[in-house]
Amino acid sequence: MGHPFPIREIARQAGLSEATVDRVLNGRGGVRESTAREVHQAIADLDRQRTQVRLVGRTFMVDIVMQAPERFTTAIRAALEAELPSLHPAVLRSRFHFRETGPVGELVRILDRIARRGSQGVILKAPDVPEVTAAVGRLAAAGIPVVTLVTDLPSSARLAYVGIDDRAAGATAAYLMGQWLGERPGNILTSLSSGFFRNEEEREMGFRSAMRARHPGRTLVEIAEGQGLDATQYDLVRAALKRDPDIRAVYSIGGGNIATLKAFDDLRRECAVFIAHDLDHDNTRLLRAHRLSAVLHHDLRQDVREACHTVMRAHGALPPAGPPLPSAIQVVTPYNMPQQAPV
């Protein structure tokens, strides 16, 4: 395949040996299909990034490691690439390690491979479990700064957390839910993708605490472990609706909202109030169609920029600064959509 990049640069982008890249590019065989895909993806990433930045000044190679649904990682990739021109005086190159779900050992192996290979920084979204905390410690011991993005690992050796105050976000959702439901009867379905993500746990605690204080008579029905994926989410929601005929509203903490609404539709049930998080492609379409009441959003571009600046500060490329402040929580309705919302 034609491209202008040296084998050494492609190998660095892909995190593979030059010999492996050479075998893929020259069709010599003996390479797994998944490895060949990594090489082709590295070339595509280099080509895309080359058109967005001028390669001047210091160059940083940062690894973006995330366990999240594809709709969210797509939004993160777009936010990062949109911010690349603003990251001077340094130039940032990124390697992406995205997965929707899977055993935690697989995620740990990715982090350990980065620790062995080297990196200027890791931007991480991962479940808060001991194995991941230990892997972050090994990265820190190798001199690689780790910044957690949108969900924290507070007991780890991470350098900083960038994102919203999730407990405040959950309380905000409870306030809106109480206002919009008013005196109408009905139970509220709370939906988490996984109980192991700190941000979702904090949102759920904030929501429950505020609902208990302001609306103690409301019953909350929890479902979890749908991983934000439509197939599993649909089954969980449908089963919950069949068990509880009084569910009338949803606070979606972990996503999968198209599937959630389909379960309501298929059972001919009304969802009077639906509050969700993040203006990804799915939620943007649902909000424009008035299927969601509101989306609690934060500026991913700002978060990504702050995460990159934190890595640069760790290497002395930018002046020192204090810990990042929590990102602003935006309450987005169909009538105040940001101009940069996905189409």
Backbone angles phi, psi at 145, to 5 degrees: -70, 140
For the 59-163+300-326 domain, the top CATH level (class) is alpha beta
From residue 225, alpha-carbon distances to 72, 83, 255, 290 in Å are 17, 32, 11, 27
Per-residue pLDDT of the chain (343 residues; tens, 9 = 90+): 456 788 998 998 888 999 999 889 988 888 888 899 999 998 888 877 764 444 356 788 999 999 998 889 998 999 998 998 887 667 788 999 999 888 999 999 999 999 999 999 999 999 999 999 999 999 999 999 999 999 999 999 999 999 999 999 999 999 999 999 999 999 999 999 887 889 999 999 999 999 999 999 999 999 998 887 888 999 999 999 999 999 999 999 998 999 999 999 999 999 999 999 999 899 999 999 999 999 999 999 999 999 999 998 898 877 788 888 999 999 999 999 987 666 5
The CATH code of the domain at 7-55 is 1.10.260
Would you mind telling me the total number of residues written for the chain in this entry?
343
Angle between the N-to-C axes of helices 198-214 and 166-181, in degrees from 0 to 180, rounded to the nearest 10: 40
CB-CB contact of 298 with 164 (8 Å): yes
Output the six-digit token pair for 75. Answer: 């939004």
Assigned CATH topology for domain 166-297: Rossmann fold (3.40.50)
For the chain, residues classed under CATH 3.40.50.2300 are 59-163+300-326, 166-297
For the chain, residues classed under CATH 1.10.260 are 7-55
Q: Which helix (H) or strand (E) holds 304?
A: helix 300-314
DSSP state of 56: -
Output the six-digit token pair for 144. Answer: 């690689």
